[in-house]
Amino acid sequence: MLHRRTVLAGLSASVLANPFPTPALAASTASRNSEVFRDGDSIGTHTMEAVLGANGFEIDITIRLAVKVLGITAYRYELTNREVWKNGAIVSVSSTVNDDGTDDFSRIKRDGDGLKIEGSRHNGAASLNSVTTSYYATPFLERRPWISTQTGVPLKVSVNPEGRANWWSVTGELETKLGYKDGEWVACEFDAGGELAEYKLVRQSGKIGALWAQA
């Protein structure tokens, strides 16, 4: 059976220090739509819609996956996630997940000088340096911990250059390969039940990572 942790990244100091240019005027919205393939077959979509406003950086993320065998859905995954960030730190996260009939959730709120996590598989505190497993901007790759947007669990991961330019290998409690361009997450590869799964960018408007960096 497929699971989110199987289907669902060290950058150089110069890239991490300033991965996004700071324009005098920047668009206040950005979006990214990716199609997800497994063994060459389309199995769904991953969309991101972001806005930079008075409340900071806000992003809505939706994942819809369905693996079919002989026309029958053998596995389904659905995630709806809303994140709010300000000054480079999480303000709140609220996600709900249907992992093939299993309901999960992750709720994170800023609490003083830290974060409070309430998740389907973890409750506790975390530092303001924490990031989510949404990894839409390169600074996420050096920060720890990564908090699962599915379950709220702080994950232990290692991130290293993958071998291809602008690709990074994530190992540990999350296994995936992430591709970036100009500081923006644009591609992903992972094992999905013994088959190669890939994210391929379909449409992009604006730069999500750049908006995040300005919040």
**Mean pLDDT value across the chain:** 90
Q: What is the pTM of this model?
A: 0.87
Low-confidence ranges of the chain (pLDDT < 50): 1, 4-18, 20-26
- Convert 133-167 to b/e letters by CB count within 10 Å (16 or more is b): bbbbbbbbbebbbbbbbbbbbbbebebeebeeebb
Which residue bears the tokens 């901007």?
Answer: 137
Give the pLDDT score at 19: 53
Q: What is the pLDDT of residue 134?
A: 97
Burial of residue 176 (CB within 10 Å: 0-12, 13-18, 19+) is buried
What is the distance between the alpha carbons of residues 200 and 93, in angstroms, rounded to a whole number? 25
pLDDT in tens, 107-141: 999 999 999 999 999 999 999 999 999 999 999 99
> Using CA atoms, how far apart are residues 150 and 100, in angstroms rounded to an integer?
13
